Chain A
Amino acid sequence: MTALISSPLARHIIGRLGETCVVIVIMSFAVYGLIGLMPGDPIDLMISADPHLTSADAARLRAVYGLDRPIMERYGAWLTDALQGDFGYSRAFSQPVLDILTPHLGNSLILMGLSFVLAVAIALPAGMVAALNPRSRTDHLINLLSFAGISIPTFWLALLLIILFSVTLGWLPPGGIATVGVDTIGDRSRHLVLPVVTLTVTQIGAYARFMRAAMIETLRADFIRTARAKGANTRRIIIRHALRNALIPVVTILALSFGTLFSGALITETMFAYPGMGKLIFDSIMGNDFNLALAGLLFATLVTLLGNLGADLAYAWLDPRISYATRRKGP
């Protein structure tokens, strides 16, 4: 056990986890402060919706919600509770924050995870095919489709898909997560099709372009020429040598995208009335729901940091030259 902990890799992981904790605390302070700096509070929003609220009501409610206390005092109280696992209540849903966050997180993970896997599954082979046939018709076609996917506005694509598959053809539901009263896997899958396709289309282009560029760069490398000179067949060169090396920059991009799996996709979720994290975080910020916004943003930060840690570990697996051992001075 001691040997395991004292290994360079373990020390690296422990160090990074420590850094992650520090970043999370700093982020929590920054986010809390920024939300606190935003003008207005939940009571102002109540007043704008109900002119019958008196100034006495407003003062009483601010005291009840603790909004009359200085922001540092509120942050201190929040941090103390959060460290004990109590993230407070959501004002926008009148429920404990974790009760709201968990299902939304699950919904986002399914939506974003599916589209991520689909996008990677399509984009990486497409990028490879394009790289192996540079300036061919196939390459041009893949490039064209990639740029189309990158350029197309998400809300427009979503609306187009709804109009085509829901309004005109009536094949798929235009939104939501399930038909009320029909909660089956098939029904849930049907509700996922359009948002997943929307997200996939908008992600494929960027991944395919990265893969193509990385693969072209790798195919020009000396070790590939050497492998060819040694008589290795093309398949072996691509799979064993080129792909593994080309994946290193792509992994960085994928790792950065990993955080978004949990932070959701605001536009897609809004267009498809899909209760995910993106819309939840946006609405909670706009609705001055401090507790919910904070928990959502911190969770997204945490996952992004862990995703990057995962990417660092993947580098070592992809490229044995990368080592986490402490450097020793030479003779």
Chain B
Amino acid sequence: MDAIRHAALGLIVLLFPLMAAGHEASAQDERSHRTLAIGMTQFPSTFHPSIDSMMAKSYVLAMTLRPFTVFDPQWKLICMLCTQLPTLENGGAVRETTPEGKEGIAVTYTIHNRAIWGDGTPVTTKDVTFTWKVGRHPLSGLASAELYKRILSVDVADAKTFTLHFDRLAFDYNAINDFNLLPAHLDRAAFAEPASYRHRTLYDTDTTNPGLYFGPYRITAVEPGSHVVMEPNKSWWGRKPFFTRIVVYVIGNTAALEANLLAGAIDMIPGELGLTLDQAISFADRHGDTFHTIFQPGLVYEHIDLNLDNPILADRRVRRALLYAIDRKAISDQLFGGKQPVATGPVSPLDTVYDGHVPAYPYDPGKAAALLDEAGWKRVNGGVRRNAEGKRLHLTLMTTAGNHTREMIEQVLQSQWRKLGIEARIHNQPARVFFGRTVTMRKFPSLAMFAWISAPDSVPRSTLHSSQIPTQENNFAGQNYMGFSDPDMDALIDKIEVELDAEKRKGMWRRIQQIYAEELPALPLYYRSQPFILPPWLEGLVPTGHQYPSTLWVENWRATP
């Protein structure tokens, strides 16, 4: 017993000075708001702007680099690194014929005059041509090479002005949001052997090199899996950033993330990669007086893909009945405090091409029952509905196991469908199994709940065109997991990609949304909201709601006294 007593005493004596020191340090931090600690749930897999594609990386790099063009928080395409957005109207873009005789376009950009890499080297057209070469090389390992392949050639007028010649005339001809500029003066040597470029790029071998960045901040320290430190970039030409240091901490567990926020170890949790909506609502209820919470609805479209090869779901009446049978408004109000708007289709109401006049399928169990009866699914003695052959109206509802929000919704859906005699069996899988095989190979028997994120005005070719149905023959390429095939939809998608007239495009978008709402290849649920938990002293952070993060405007962030 004495031994235990002595051990406990020794432990307390050892820990006390450490605890006291910690208390003092956090008090000092609280007095100064010149540093900002952000907590998020993922660590970037690379710091190269174009290798791999993940939000954690975009979030961090948006503070250190700037794209030529991007959608602003009002979802309008703007120039960031260029001086003026080129258009056909202002002469910055000119129609031309490609060497193959097709209709193409030449678009001219001018790099911001004061754009300088962190080591003092000016950002020039040499960087543009280098980036294009890296981007289109098949071995460089860049995630999305589509944009670079569409650029047939680059004409350099001078150190700051260049013209891109595109292989086709598309509606988004001036949006080069994914053209992530690379420093030719530093990374050219790593590209000498393109196949090993992804291992040799300075973004991963010398991440703290100041010459890799030209944004308001530059990365000054990285602890893999733990945190990234950023400090102001002295060569930044824009508004002087307020914070002398920004640290992005990675805390994988959201309960621990919340505890870190309450303990003052981090100042804020971004909506892009932080708490789930239900956690954020609960947090806001408990700590709304000490933290400022913003719920930003956005482009993340939560829905249920229907496998249209399933004979039950091939009947449009059944699909409609399934949607009429769900009280999405009540679910949003009860589970998400009304913060998650009910979806009518894949296009967000915040998008300029949204059309609000499509069928919305409000909760109507009577209509749902009538549709099921009409489709031959009759209810006997209040049990599960059966068809003429005696087959039960049985569906399997799948989603990512461990996603608390989706699992809650599943329970409600199961219960609401059961009331109408629809039997739904929940069968969830870990995300990597679900997305790695079940969804991508269309192995879900009937219903798969997940989300899509897209850009504003993003044509749904990959998800709704019949050429994009994954099959064994095309090696499961494409993301039309529903197996949706509609000649009108195909024709519209083909046309809208090359239509430049804004009014005509709007009409086409209206028709796309109408077909989607009438045919219901998927059941629209919600537009997911991003919850931002911010300290009351932080000003200037404007959530975007789309895939371009709020950190693209980090120089506007300020701490109030």
Distance in Å: Cβ of B402 to nearest Cβ of chain A: 11
Is B226 interfacial (CB 8 A cutoff)? Answer: yes
Distance in Å: Cβ of A145 to nearest Cβ of chain B: 9
In the complex, are the beta carbons of B247 and A180 less than 8 A apart? yes
In the complex, are the beta carbons of A45 and B432 less than 8 A apart? yes
In the complex, are the beta carbons of A193 and B15 less than 8 A apart? yes
Q: Give the chain B neighbours of A41 by CB distance below 8 A.
A: 436
Q: Give the chain A neighbours of B204 by CB distance below 8 A.
A: 94-95
Q: Give the chain A neighbours of B22 by CB distance below 8 A.
A: 170-173, 190
In the complex, are the beta carbons of B260 and A273 less than 8 A apart? yes
The count of chain A contact residues (Cβ–Cβ below 8 Å) is 76
Residues 145-160 of B contacting A (Cβ, < 8 Å)? 145-146
Query: How many Å lie between the Cα of A279 and that of B20 in the bound state?
Result: 30
Residues 428-480 of B contacting A (Cβ, < 8 Å)? 430, 432-433, 435-438, 440, 452-455, 462-463, 474-475, 477-479
Is A275 interfacial (CB 8 A cutoff)? Answer: yes
Distance in Å: Cβ of B440 to nearest Cβ of chain A: 6
Return the CB mask of A83-104 against B: 1 if under 8 Å, else 0. 0000001011111000010011
Q: Give the chain A neighbours of B433 by CB distance below 8 A.
A: 38-40
Residues 260-289 of A contacting B (Cβ, < 8 Å)? 270-273, 275, 279-280, 283, 286-288
In the complex, are the beta carbons of A51 and B453 less than 8 A apart? yes
If A53-B144, A166-B259, A176-B226 touch, does A44 touch B46 (CB 8 Å cutoff)?
no
Contact pick for A40, options B46, B262, B263, B435, CB 8 Å: B435
In the complex, are the beta carbons of A129 and B251 less than 8 A apart? no
Distance in Å: Cβ of B368 to nearest Cβ of chain A: 31
Is B278 interfacial (CB 8 A cutoff)? Answer: no
Q: Give the chain B neighbours of A45 by CB distance below 8 A.
A: 432, 435-436
Distance in Å: Cβ of A309 to nearest Cβ of chain B: 31
Is B561 interfacial (CB 8 A cutoff)? Answer: no
Return the CB mask of B39-73 against A: 1 if under 8 Å, else 0. 00001011110011111000000000000000000
Q: Give the chain A neighbours of B3 by CB distance below 8 A.
A: 125-126, 129
Is B192 interfacial (CB 8 A cutoff)? Answer: no
Query: How many Å lie between the Cα of A165 and that of B146 in the bound state?
Result: 51
Q: Which of A58-66, A210-218, A311-319 contacts B (4 or more CB under 8 A)?
A: A58-66
In the complex, are the beta carbons of A51 and B452 less than 8 A apart? yes
Is A298 interfacial (CB 8 A cutoff)? Answer: no
If A44-B436, A92-B45, A190-B22 touch, does A180 touch B224 (CB 8 Å cutoff)?
no
In the complex, are the beta carbons of A47 and B440 less than 8 A apart? yes
Query: How many Å lie between the Cα of A239 and that of B4 in the bound state?
Result: 18
Q: Give the chain A neighbours of B265 by CB distance below 8 A.
A: 166, 173-176
Q: Give the chain A neighbours of B146 by CB distance below 8 A.
A: 52, 54, 57
Contact pick for A189, options B18, B453, B479, CB 8 Å: B18
Is B426 interfacial (CB 8 A cutoff)? Answer: no
Chain A CB within 10 A, most for which of B15, B139, B478: B15
In the complex, are the beta carbons of B221 and A50 less than 8 A apart? no
Q: Give the chain A neighbours of B23 by CB distance below 8 A.
A: 169-171
Distance in Å: Cβ of B152 to nearest Cβ of chain A: 17
Residues 135-158 of A contacting B (Cβ, < 8 Å)? 138, 142, 155, 158
Is B317 interfacial (CB 8 A cutoff)? Answer: no
Query: How many Å lie between the Cα of A190 and that of B23 in the bound state?
Result: 11
In the complex, are the beta carbons of B145 and A57 less than 8 A apart? yes
In the complex, are the beta carbons of B143 and A46 less than 8 A apart? yes
If A170-B23, A286-B432 touch, does A175 touch B251 (CB 8 Å cutoff)?
yes
If A46-B53, A93-B45 touch, does A275 touch B224 (CB 8 Å cutoff)?
yes
If A165-B19, A286-B432 touch, does A170 touch B229 (CB 8 Å cutoff)?
no
In the complex, are the beta carbons of B432 and A59 less than 8 A apart? no
Contact pick for A159, options B255, B430, B475, CB 8 Å: B255
The count of chain B contact residues (Cβ–Cβ below 8 Å) is 77
In the complex, are the beta carbons of B143 and A50 less than 8 A apart? yes
Contact pick for A49, options B15, B53, B252, CB 8 Å: B53
The secondary-structure label for the interface of chain B is: mixed
Closest to B201 in A: A94
Residues 171-189 of A contacting B (Cβ, < 8 Å)? 171-177, 179-182, 186-187, 189
Query: How many Å lie between the Cα of A52 and that of B452 in the bound state?
Result: 11
Q: Give the chain B neighbours of A163 by CB distance below 8 A.
A: 259, 262
Is A122 interfacial (CB 8 A cutoff)? Answer: yes
Query: How many Å lie between the Cα of A47 and that of B53 in the bound state?
Result: 9
Q: Give the chain A neighbours of B454 by CB distance below 8 A.
A: 51
If A64-B139, A162-B263 touch, does A126 touch B4 (CB 8 Å cutoff)?
yes
In the complex, are the beta carbons of B227 and A180 less than 8 A apart? yes
Is A234 interfacial (CB 8 A cutoff)? Answer: no
Is A322 interfacial (CB 8 A cutoff)? Answer: no
Distance in Å: Cβ of B25 to nearest Cβ of chain A: 7
In the complex, are the beta carbons of B20 and A182 less than 8 A apart? no
Is B253 interfacial (CB 8 A cutoff)? Answer: yes
Query: How many Å lie between the Cα of A122 and that of B9 in the bound state?
Result: 12
In the complex, are the beta carbons of A129 and B1 less than 8 A apart? yes
Query: How many Å lie between the Cα of A94 and that of B205 in the bound state?
Result: 9
Contact pick for B143, options A48, A53, A280, CB 8 Å: A53
In the complex, are the beta carbons of A51 and B479 less than 8 A apart? yes
If A159-B256, A180-B247 touch, does A167 touch B225 (CB 8 Å cutoff)?
no
In the complex, are the beta carbons of A175 and B256 less than 8 A apart? yes
Q: Give the chain B neighbours of A280 by CB distance below 8 A.
A: 225
In the complex, are the beta carbons of A48 and B25 less than 8 A apart? no
In the complex, are the beta carbons of A275 and B462 less than 8 A apart? no
Closest to A50 in B: B53
Q: Give the chain B neighbours of A271 by CB distance below 8 A.
A: 253, 255-256
Query: How many Å lie between the Cα of A205 and that of B15 in the bound state?
Result: 22
Query: How many Å lie between the Cα of A48 and that of B433 in the bound state?
Result: 12
Distance in Å: Cβ of A295 to nearest Cβ of chain B: 15
Closest to A280 in B: B225
In the complex, are the beta carbons of A94 and B45 less than 8 A apart? yes
Q: Give the chain B neighbours of A279 by CB distance below 8 A.
A: 225, 252
Is B199 interfacial (CB 8 A cutoff)? Answer: yes
Q: Give the chain A neighbours of B474 by CB distance below 8 A.
A: 55
In the complex, are the beta carbons of A182 and B25 less than 8 A apart? yes
Q: Which 4 A-B pairs have the closest CB atoms?
A: A40-B436, A55-B477, A39-B437, A171-B19
| B→A interface (CB under 8 Å) | 1, 3-4, 7, 15, 18-23, 25-27, 43, 45-48, 51-55, 138-139, 141, 143-146, 178, 195, 198-199, 204, 221, 223-227, 229, 245, 247, 249-253, 255-256, 259-260, 262-265, 430, 432-433, 435-438, 440, 452-455, 462-463, 474-475, 477-479
Q: Can you name 23 A-B pairs with beta carbons within 8 Å?
A: A44-B435, A47-B440, A51-B463, A54-B462, A54-B477, A58-B477, A64-B195, A93-B45, A94-B51, A94-B198, A94-B199, A95-B204, A104-B224, A104-B225, A165-B19, A167-B259, A172-B19, A174-B263, A176-B227, A177-B226, A180-B247, A273-B226, A280-B225
